[in-house]
Amino acid sequence: MSTLAEPPGLVYEVKGLVFANANLNATFGGKLPKMVESLVDQAQQLGANGIVDIRTAVGGAHGCCVMTGTAVLIANPPGPPYLGAQLLDAADGVQIGTVVAGGPAERHGLRQGDVVTHADGEALTGAAALVERKNAARPGDQLALTVWRDGSTASLTVVLGVRPE
């Protein structure tokens, strides 16, 4: 069960709304986690595997707290982030080999033969360093790349995708 912000690019089916409330008096310490637990239990009973659009409101003389969310069944949970390019070790970074047509690398300007020297401001020492940085991200995250191409450097921002099936 995951509690997600509006998940960009995910396909999901709304299974229902979930709701919890409590009075937050001087002993409210354990009530908020129990409210979240209640939302998760309700979502699971609806056959959901995630909750989006969670909202909380607190008010009133007795500190009433209301928490709501939308229980969803995520059809295609995201896999690992996808760049869509073959990465090869190069003397000064990472050489781009084959670029997948229509993939994130191509859509954001990477070309076969480019040498990526930096990712998010960090110098790259080989393909493994870029793979590690990519895998630490999520689909939809951005990688700021410095690329050596045709005798000069260029800055590109690539939005990572989800590997097509």
* pTM for this predicted structure: 0.56
Task: Tell me what the mean pLDDT of segment 38-46 comes to.
Answer: 87
For the segment 67-112, what is each residue's pLDDT rounded down to a tens digit? 888 888 877 666 788 999 999 999 999 999 999 999 999 999 999 9
Phi then psi dihedrals of residue 27, to 5 deg: -110, 35
Task: Tell me what the mean pLDDT of segment 37-61 comes to.
Answer: 82
Q: What residues have CB less than 8 Å from 148, skipping those under 6 apart?
A: 92, 93, 114, 115, 116, 117
pLDDT attached to residue 3: 46
Q: What type of residue sits at position 141?
A: D
For the segment 118-136, what is each residue's pLDDT rounded down to a tens digit? 999 999 999 999 999 999 8
pLDDT attached to residue 43: 86
Query: What confidence tier does 153 reach under pLDDT thresholds 50, 70, 90?
Result: very high
Residue 59 CB neighbour total at 10 angstroms: 9
